């Protein structure tokens, strides 16, 4: 472990379950409108990557190579693109419980990324609030089109993309992140 710290997968199954319940239990009696959407703070991209890795492993069977994909995208955003765009988090009493980002690759190439909600916070309308925030940002900047990549297994996310009038425009079937997947590109004309 050394410099990497403790990874959730290194914990016993009992401790992993306790950590998961703790994250899900954060909500407690909090109402959805008490959860604040705000720009991310330094260090929170690490949380976003970590929770994607944990949840996508548990829910979809992705392997450790998924972490490289996430971190490479975050390095591109922070270093190569100099933070052009915005990352928002859903903050519940000081704890991040969701995220979404708009990455401005070029003025014509705008990507929605890192959309995630903790399981205990799904079904509360936070996904729609995050999508509205991201797309309002795009419209406010005068962007004409935004795209995203997802995988066919993410049914709830795909349903939300359809509600917001994204359309699938490209698919790729391949072995990635430890399994056979179908990646999908979805585009939205604003």
Q: In angstroms, rounded to a whole number, what is the distance separating the alpha carbons of residues 61 and 184?
A: 18
* Residue 12 belongs to some domain of the structure: no
Residue 95 CA to residue 58 CA, distance in Å, equals 21
In a domain, 10, yes or no: no
Dihedral sign computed on CA atoms, order 16, 48, 184, 154: positive
> Residue 79 carries which DSSP code?
I
Is 99 within 8 Å of 40 (Cβ atoms)? yes
Query: Does 91 fall in a domain?
Result: yes
5, 50, 55, 160, 185 from 152: Cα distances, Å: 33, 22, 16, 13, 10
Tell whether 174 is covered by a domain: yes
Q: How many domains does the chain have?
A: 1
Question: Model-level pTM?
Answer: 0.82
The pLDDT of residue 123: 87
Enumerate the β-bridge partners of residue 123: none
State both tokens at 163: 């509600």
Report pLDDT digits (tens) over 67-85.
999 999 999 999 999 999 9
CATH number of the domain where residue 183 is located = 3.40.630.30
Q: Identify the band that residue 138 occupies on the pLDDT scale cut at 50, 70 and 90.
A: very high
What digits encode the pLDDT tens for the residues 76-115? Answer: 999 999 999 999 999 998 999 999 999 999 888 999 999 9
pLDDT digits (tens, 9 = 90+) for 28-65: 556 666 799 999 999 999 999 999 999 999 999 999 99
Instruction: Categorize the per-residue pLDDT at 162 as very low, low, confident or very high, splitting at 50, 70 and 90.
Output: very high
Q: Buried b vs exposed e over 43-56: b needs ≥16 C-beta within 10 Å?
A: ebbebbbebbbbbb
Does the residue 11 lie in any domain? no
Using the predicted structure, report yes or no on whether residue 1 has a pLDDT greater than 60: no
Residue 20, domain member (yes or no): no
53 domain residue, yes or no:
yes
Examine residue 146 and state whether it is found in any structural domain, yes or no. Answer: yes
The pLDDT-based confidence of 4 (bands split at 50, 70, 90) is: very low
Q: What is the CA radius of gyration of the chain?
A: 17
DSSP 96-148: EEEEEEEEESSSS-EEEEEEEE-GGGTTSSHHHHHHHHHHHHHHHTT-SEEEE
3-state secondary structure (DSSP) of residue 27: coil
Residue 107 tokens read as: 């003025």
Query: Structural domain of residue 115, as residue ranges?
Result: 40-189
Q: How far is CA 76 from CA 51, 110, 147, in A?
A: 19, 13, 17
């Amino acid at each position: 472990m050394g410099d990497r710290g403790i990874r959730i997968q290194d914990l016993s199954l009992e401790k992993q379950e306790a950590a998961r319940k703790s994250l899900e239990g954060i909500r407690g009696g909090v109402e959805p409108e008490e959860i604040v959407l705000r720009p991310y703070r330094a260090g929170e991209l690490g949380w976003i990557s970590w929770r994607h890795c944990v949840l996508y492993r548990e829910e979809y069977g992705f392997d450790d190579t998924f972490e490289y994909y996430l971190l490479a995208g975050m390095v591109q955003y922070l270093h190569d693109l100099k933070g052009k765009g915005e990352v928002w988090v859903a903050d519940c009493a000081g704890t991040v419980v969701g995220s979404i980002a708009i990455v401005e690759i070029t003025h014509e190439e705008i990507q929605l990324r890192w959309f995630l909600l903790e399981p205990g916070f799904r079904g509360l309308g936070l996904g729609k609030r995050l999508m509205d925030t991201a797309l309002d940002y795009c419209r406010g900047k005068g962007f004409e089109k935004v795209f995203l990549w997802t995988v066919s297994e993410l049914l709830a996310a795909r349903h939300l993309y359809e509600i917001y009038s994204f359309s699938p425009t490209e698919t790729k079937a391949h072995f990635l992140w430890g399994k056979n997947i179908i990646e999908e590109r979805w585009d939205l004309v604003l």
